[in-house]
Amino acid sequence: MKLQFWRQGAVKGPMLDLHCHILPAIDDGAVNLDMALEMARIAADDGITTIACSPHIYPGMYDNTARGIRLAVKALQAELDQRGIAIKLLPNADVHLVPGLVDGIREGNVPTIAGSRYLLLEPSHHVAPPGFEDSVFELMAAGYVPLITHPERLAWVEDQYDVFERLSRRGAWMQVTAGALTGRFGRRVKYWAERFTGEGHTMVLATDAHHPQRRPPLLAEAREAAAALVGAGEATHMVLTRPAGILDDRPPEQLPPPLFATQGFTPVPSQAPRSGSALKDFLRRLRGSRA
Ligand SMILES: [Fe+2]
């Protein structure tokens, strides 16, 4: 407890958010311009300087395209600039894993993160997608680095944590939700967030913000939580060094490697209980479950 108090405020500096549903009226994130502006102000106050805007692409439900997203980014950036909100926006998408995804990227319909080789990849929430590992390997064989979104929040992580471990060891990157690490999604999700992080598999922390209050764009508190678990240097890599490298499209081998692959690394056990109140966690998921 004393140690955590001492660490409070220990990590400073800008942060980059690679997963945020801030573009207005384009998915289940910000519903209008006012809400998008409120989210941008909260993010700026938190120390976030850049947001790679990531609306869902989910055929049949959210049919966003790279072109539409670019236009929406440009429009919102103009609104931010006009109001002096110091956030740089870049195009991105929260890409649901569907057949034909590689073709969609190659044809330019599905955006990668700011046009880089890194792709924000969202697995289905409630059931493991059939052939999930093969699909991820297919993306990697095509030259992309999948940044797998919020594995800690998936209903099936409980039974298939080993799938993510294997993918991580083969070069897929894991993006853990900032609020998961700070307990905003309940104790069960916090346990898995701490486990991914403490075992050295978390490469990036991102807000996955959808709303100014219910799913706010806050990253600093998670950076502190990560610092308490694995140290300030690694926490900074998760919110700054690796996200900046992704935006610059630097190859993964030029960026800080996952902690599990560094010499002398000892896994840190999760401090959160493995299961919380099932009812509480269920109600929390009901209030804001969309990925
Ligand atoms: Fe998302």
Q: What does the pLDDT look like over 239-264, one tens digit per residue?
A: 999 999 999 999 999 999 999 999 88
Q: How far is the CA of 52 from the centre of ligand 1 (A)?
A: 12
Does the pLDDT of residue 4 top 60, yes or no? no
Model confidence at 273, pLDDT cuts 50, 70, 90, reads confident
Element (H, E) at 83: helix 66-83
What is this structure's pTM? Answer: 0.91
Q: How far is the CA of 157 from the centre of ligand 1 (A)?
A: 17
Model confidence at 281, pLDDT cuts 50, 70, 90, reads low
What's the CA gap between 62 and 64, in Å, rounded?
Answer: 6
Element (H, E) at 146: strand 145-149
Strand partners, 175: 149, 204
94 is written with which tokens? 């929260």
Q: How confident is the model at residue 283, as a pLDDT?
A: 62
Does the pLDDT of residue 272 top 70, yes or no? yes
What's the CA gap between 105 and 113, in Å, rounded?
Answer: 11
Q: How far is the CA of 85 from the centre of ligand 1 (A)?
A: 23
Look at residues 95, 102, 107, 22 and name the one whose alpha carbon lies nearest to residue 59: 95
Q: How confident is the model at residue 89, as a pLDDT?
A: 98
Could you state, in order of their start, the residue ranges of all structural domains in the chain?
13-289
In angstroms and rounded to an integer, the radius of gyration of the C-alpha atoms of the chain is 18
Does the pLDDT of residue 291 top 70, yes or no? no
Mean residue pLDDT of the chain comes to 92
Q: How far is the CA of 94 from the centre of ligand 1 (A)?
A: 6
What's the CA gap between 260 and 99, in Å, rounded?
Answer: 31
User: Angle formed by the axes of helices 220-230 and 187-198, to 10°?
Assistant: 60
Q: How far is the CA of 166 from the centre of ligand 1 (A)?
A: 23
* Predicted confidence (pLDDT) per residue in 204-232, tens digit: 999 999 999 999 999 999 999 999 999 99
What's the CA gap between 233 and 235, in Å, rounded?
Answer: 5
**What is the mean predicted confidence (pLDDT) over 68-72?**
98
Does the pLDDT of residue 196 top 70, yes or no? yes
Burial (Cβ within 10 Å: 0-12, 13-18, ≥19) of residue 1? exposed
Strand partners, 122: 96
* DSSP state string for 22-65: -STTSSSS--SHHHHHHHHHHHHHHTEEEEEE--EEBTTTB---
Q: How far is the CA of 287 from the centre of ligand 1 (A)?
A: 15
| 3-class DSSP state of 133 | helix
Give the homologous superfamily in CATH for domain 13-289: Metal-dependent hydrolases (3.20.20.140)
Q: How far is the CA of 54 from the centre of ligand 1 (A)?
A: 7
Q: Does 67 or 278 have the greater pLDDT score?
A: 67
Percent of the chain with pLDDT over 90: 85
Q: How far is the CA of 263 from the centre of ligand 1 (A)?
A: 33
